[in-house]
Amino acid sequence: MPWGEFKDIAAERRLFQRRAFVMLLLVFVLLGVLIARMYHLQVVEHDIYTTLSDKNRVQVQSVAPPRGLVYDRNDVLLAENRPVFSVTLVPERVGDMEQTLSKLRGMLSISEEDMERFQRRLLEPRRPFQELPLRYDLDEQEIARLAVHRHELPGVEVSAELVRYYPHSTLTAHALGYVGRINRQELQRIDPVNYAGTNYIGKSGVERFYEELLHGQVGYQHVETNARGRTLRVLERENPVPGEDIQLHMDLRLQRLAHDLLDGRRGAIIAIEPSTGGILALASVPGFDANLFVTGIGVEAYRSLSSSVDKPLFNRALRGQYPPGSTLKPMLAIAALDSNAVTRDKTIWDPGYYQLNSGGRRWRDWKRGGHGWVDLKSAVAQSCDIYFYEAAVTMGVDTMHQYLSDFGFGEDATLDVAGALSGLLPSSDWKRAIHSEPWYPGDSVNLGIGQGFMLATPLQLATATSVIANRGHWAEPRLLKDIKGDQSIDEVLPTGTHQSIELENPDDWEFVVESMAEVMHGSKGTARGAARGAPYRMAGKTGTAQVFSLAEDEEYDEEEIRERLRDHALFVGFAPVEDPKIAVAVIVENGGSGSGTAAPVARAMFDAWLLDFSEAGSELVAGSSAEGSN
Amino acid sequence: MPAGSLFNQSARHPLSSPRGIWSALHIDPILLFLLLTLIAGGLFVLYSGADRNLEVVKAQGIRMGVALVVMFVFAQLDPAVFRRWAPWLFTAGLIGLAAVLLVGVGAKGAQRWLAIPGLPRFQPSELMKLVVPMMAAWYLSRHYLPPRLRHVAVALLIVLAPMAMIILQPDLGTSLLVGAAGIFVVFFAGMGWRLIGAFLAMVSVAAPLMWFFVMREYQKQRVLTLLDPQSDPLGAGWNIIQSKTAIGSGGMDGKGWLQGTQSHLEFLPESHTDFIVAVLAEEFGFVGMLVLLVLYLLIVLRCLYIAATAQDSFSRLLAGALTMTFFIYVFVNVGMVSGLLPVVGVPLPLVSYGGTSGVTLMAAFGVLMSVHTHRRMISA
């Protein structure tokens, strides 16, 4: 049929127009469907999708509060925070972990140790979308390199965080402690909300004890992120409450001096201000660099520290438990006088040895041949063992235990010194319980010169000395001096529970103090060499703690004993006698004699505190160095 | 009357129309205005959808300029030319499709492009969106309308052959659009309602068969995802969840131009191509969507008017089918972005960035303008 012939053109047009009308209806119906759909999504369910959209882009992030700073008594900064850039990965956002890690290795130097630690953290339980650090302390080149390649590395971020830094780290490590990464046990203990943005927690020392105070309150920010999780801007922010800045009693100059005095040796020095109990110096030598522990110490470095024979990680001042030796004699003198075991005038003949009953075991005096006739004062001054053997036996263990407890032995008497140990103050009950044996008089003999079972930490010795310096008044040792913010120190510092030691005759305090002054200034005082030329009077007591005990009557030659088997040299003392400003305890491990090694150390501490560092001291001695006076 | 004489007749009376300059240019000013409004508005949204990338907007502007030229060229040709060329173009198109299957190039496992040396790469399937309705219109307009059953059968064969070849590429989306264009011709031609009923019944039987024998795994996945996007929220469901979130969060009057968080923060995928309508919905809200849909409606109304007033059956059928195909584009795209239809690669006509579809579409509008401006004043 040829085209166009016999066709009813008008009919075809009408047919088309009818069909076009049907199509028009279809168009309206379908458009109606679309509009209804849009209305449903945009008006009816608008709130749902707004929420979804906001959830997409807005994330709540916790903002860690900056940790409070720590100052010494002269406002010298001991612990601060500095920004450290680290590269972190969010495993949920990293596509191919293997590939990403190998790319990063090409850009940064990542040690095997970093890698191991990261892999370990990857396996540990953690919060979803938590950033896992891979390497800390990036340098600027590495940061730049990461910035250039960041589009290839989804889930990889360079994050800046404030990390604890100890400017005088080796000096203060044992006193301040340090912070470190929160570990799994700590994760159980802490408030997960307040620590949501925090990676570090106080592990020891002041950092641990005042963790709550130093940490502050977490803040929040609502940030807008894109689909790849990059933060674009901060929408809303609730600032964290920074941790409180605190001030310690410690004087960094004195602390440094203490370290210098013990340099090359092993030992501890504690200096306390008797009137306040404030710890002026707390040195345990050798120390260590606490900064190593903050971001996580390497296995190698840790092994070399922990396996060192010098035990740098061991806090001798708080945790070193030594036989106090003769440094216990002033406290025992108080006990003996107050319990009427001796009188001030009681004199004995010291033949050089002591026997409980004739023919029995002989306890030697440190001085061969004995001191001859000695009274209490000279017994202290010359450190006569025989006098104290006898007094101890007369008092008996229970009396000694009572008085020594009052001086804070056998307990941790500190207010805020984390990790301080209580030593060992033996009693008859203790011996029966632990050794299933009764207390023998011979045990009392040993206790009389601070040997035998008795153990005390340098901090305890300094505390007891400070109580004597205070003439019986207790001011528990403490580190915290002040809080810089609004908070009152009373809310934070535990209150002391110790009663002042009341003696029947309070004059006994002066008597014992005078006998300690004799140690320093008397013609036969054991430490008279150390006090020579001082423009003030000081009181003290030397001591020697045996590392191993010698058999009866055995002679020993210092030279022949290997250095590490030599006696520990001890000294306790305070100055000035009349108005004590500083009490110290010194222990020099394997230092030999207390008088020769420990006492001069204490003298140097006294001089520094009373003369060099104090204005009153400068007046005391015309022409004394003005260095550090304020 | 020989087919060629129509062209000659028209050529003898070039200014017989009283419509002045527009008629001389063979341009329908109303349709042109609507199209330019849409294109301009589209570029505006594209700037936001492409995240303020002016290069993208510039490239799209150039592409639209080229498309307008193509439209202008097509408008100059008499509909009789299209009719005369329809069989040849159709044959060439089939050869092209066959060539694509044999030596075509492409990406992602689909061969859609033909790279003939010396010519720009092109998709024969894109061409078929115009040529198939042309061929169907040519065939059906040669016979009495409404068509008889065997004519309908032949017409359907004309439609199904290229469809099948495009499915094999595989390109289900284009195949369905090409098929729709052809089917609309048959419908406009007056295919009987009973036949239509039977046809729809056949389609509903064929659909499950398609599911098992024709559709690829990823296509099935898209359908399943549509039904339950939450089943794979980070994978296949991501697009649909994010685009619904973008649309829904736009609310009544939107977040404001360039203020869409879903698109600018890169949650919305394909925000400047297939999913651009979600950008518009997010930033201009329900009001913006109404404006867009009304604009499309006005274009469809104008085109249907052009079709209804065309002077011969071929022109009517072709114009009607092209109009409805254009509308189907809009419906499928908006339906897919708003989660009514499975995700198929259909752009929002004249707004989405890229592709050759813009050029094809403008060529179709050129055909419509040609139909409208080459009418002879028989009744005058």
Residue B61 in any domain: the answer is no
Chain B interface, mutation test: which of A27, A50, A232, most B Cβ atoms within 10 Å? Answer: A27
Q: Which residues of B touch A6 (CB under 8 A)?
A: 144
Residue A492 in any domain: the answer is yes
Number of H helices, E strands in chain B: 15, 2
Residue B19 in any domain: the answer is no
Name the closest residue on chain A to residue B330, using Cα atoms.
A31
CA B82, B85, B87, B91: dihedral to nearest 10 degrees? -120
pLDDT recorded at residue B148:
86
- Inter-chain residue contact A53 with B145, CB threshold 8 Å: no
Residue B355 in any domain: the answer is no
Nearest to A45 among B184, B248, B308 (CB): B248
Strand (E) positions, B103-253?
A: 105-107, 110-113
- Inter-chain residue contact A56 with B261, CB threshold 8 Å: yes
Q: Is A326 a catalytic residue?
A: yes
Distance separating alpha carbons of residues A365 and A390, to the nearest angstrom: 12
- Inter-chain residue contact A56 with B262, CB threshold 8 Å: yes
Binding-site positions of A read 350, 365, 371, 384
pLDDT recorded at residue B3:
43
- Inter-chain residue contact A7 with B313, CB threshold 8 Å: yes
Same domain membership, residue A256 and residue A209: no
Give me the CATH number covering residue A123. 3.90.1310.10
The CA radius of gyration of chain B, in Å to the nearest whole number, is 21
Q: Is the pLDDT of residue B70 over 90?
A: yes
Q: What percent of chain B has pLDDT over 70?
A: 88
Nearest to A38 among B245, B289, B304 (CB): B289
- Inter-chain residue contact A38 with B244, CB threshold 8 Å: no
- Inter-chain residue contact B331 with A20, CB threshold 8 Å: no
Distance separating alpha carbons of residues A207 and A242, to the nearest angstrom: 15
- Inter-chain residue contact B267 with A42, CB threshold 8 Å: no
Same domain membership, residue A132 and residue A277: no
Distance separating alpha carbons of residues A521 and A541, to the nearest angstrom: 11
Same domain membership, residue A201 and residue A299: no
pLDDT recorded at residue B187:
92
- Inter-chain residue contact A1 with B184, CB threshold 8 Å: no
The catalytic residue among A326, A427, A515, A595 is A326
pLDDT recorded at residue A624:
39
Nearest to B247 among A19, A23, A41 (CB): A41
Long-range Cβ contacts of A535-538 (<8 Å, 24+ apart): A535/A611, A535/A620, A535/A621, A536/A575, A536/A576, A536/A577, A536/A606, A536/A610, A536/A620, A537/A575, A537/A576, A537/A577, A537/A578, A538/A573, A538/A574, A538/A575, A538/A576, A538/A577, A538/A603, A538/A606
Distance separating alpha carbons of residues B341 and B225, to the nearest angstrom: 10
Name the closest residue on chain A to residue B189, using Cα atoms.
A16
A76 Cα to chain B: minimum distance (Å): 48
Give pLDDT tens digits for B174-226.
888 899 999 999 999 988 888 889 888 988 888 888 777 777 777 777 777 77
C-alpha A504, offset from chain centre: 39
Residue A593 in any domain: the answer is yes
Chain A interface, mutation test: which of B144, B145, B266, B340, most A Cβ atoms within 10 Å? Answer: B145
Q: Which residues of A touch B187 (CB under 8 A)?
A: 19, 23
Same domain membership, residue A229 and residue A138: yes
Nearest to B188 among A6, A19, A45 (CB): A19
Same domain membership, residue A272 and residue A181: no
User: Can you name the residues that pair with A584 across neighbouring β-strands?
Assistant: A271, A573
Mean pLDDT of B39-60: 91
- Inter-chain residue contact B247 with A49, CB threshold 8 Å: yes
Identity of the highest mean pLDDT range in A29-38, A52-61, B4-13, B14-23: A29-38
What's the structural domain count of chain A?
A: 2
The structure tokens listed for B89 are 């173009």
- Inter-chain residue contact B244 with A49, CB threshold 8 Å: yes
Nearest to A34 among B246, B248, B334 (CB): B334
Residue B139 in any domain: the answer is yes
Same domain membership, residue A418 and residue A400: yes
Chain A interface, mutation test: which of B84, B234, B245, most A Cβ atoms within 10 Å? Answer: B245
Distance separating alpha carbons of residues A377 and A395, to the nearest angstrom: 18
pLDDT recorded at residue B2:
44
DSSP H/E element including B117:
none
Q: Which of A225, A248, A271 is the last residue of a domain?
A: A248
Pairing of strands A70-71, A246-248: parallel
Chain A interface, mutation test: which of B249, B317, B346, most A Cβ atoms within 10 Å? Answer: B249
Q: Which residues of B touch A24 (CB under 8 A)?
A: 301, 304
Residue B189 in any domain: the answer is yes
pLDDT recorded at residue B306:
94
Same domain membership, residue A347 and residue A221: no
Same domain membership, residue A239 and residue A90: yes
The CA radius of gyration of chain A, in Å to the nearest whole number, is 37
Same domain membership, residue A293 and residue A402: yes
C-alpha B316, offset from chain centre: 17
B355 Cα to chain A: minimum distance (Å): 24
Mark residue A563 as left, alpha or beta (left: phi above 0; alpha: psi -120 to 50; beta: remaining).
alpha
Residue B107 in any domain: the answer is yes
What's the structural domain count of chain B?
A: 1
Q: What ipTM was predicted for this assembly?
A: 0.90
- Inter-chain residue contact A46 with B249, CB threshold 8 Å: yes
Residue A82 in any domain: the answer is yes
Q: Which residues of B touch A37 (CB under 8 A)?
A: 335, 338-340
Residue B181 in any domain: the answer is yes
State which residues form the domain around A204.
60-248
Give me the CATH number covering residue A533. 3.40.710.10
Same domain membership, residue A395 and residue A382: yes
Chain B interface, mutation test: which of A6, A12, A129, most B Cβ atoms within 10 Å? Answer: A12
Q: Is the pLDDT of residue B14 over 60?
A: no
Q: Which residues of chain A have pLDDT under 70?
A: 1-7, 125-129, 228-230, 548-564, 615-630
Residue A29 in any domain: the answer is no
Same domain membership, residue A411 and residue A382: yes
Nearest to A38 among B281, B304, B313 (CB): B281
Cβ-contact A327, A572 below 8 angstroms: yes
Name the closest residue on chain B to residue A16, using Cα atoms.
B188
Residue B110 in any domain: the answer is yes
A98 Cα to chain B: minimum distance (Å): 21
- Inter-chain residue contact B251 with A42, CB threshold 8 Å: yes
A65 Cα to chain B: minimum distance (Å): 29
pLDDT classification of B351: cutoffs 50, 70, 90: very high
Binding-site positions of A for Zn(2+) read 350, 365, 371, 384
State which residues form the domain around B138.
78-215
Bond prior to A154 in cis (omega within 30° of 0): no
On average, the pLDDT of chain B sits at: 85
pLDDT recorded at residue A630:
38
Name the closest residue on chain B to residue A231, using Cα atoms.
B265
- Inter-chain residue contact A31 with B293, CB threshold 8 Å: yes
Same domain membership, residue A421 and residue A331: yes
Nearest to A56 among B190, B245, B285 (CB): B245
> Tell me, what amino acid is at A148?
V
B334 Cα to chain A: minimum distance (Å): 7
Q: Is B129 helix (H, G, I), strand (E, B) or coil?
A: helix
Q: Which of A199, A229, A248 is the last residue of a domain?
A: A248
Cβ-contact A573, A465 below 8 angstroms: yes
Q: Which residues of B touch A92 (CB under 8 A)?
A: none
Give pLDDT tens digits for B255-280.
888 888 888 887 888 888 889 999 99
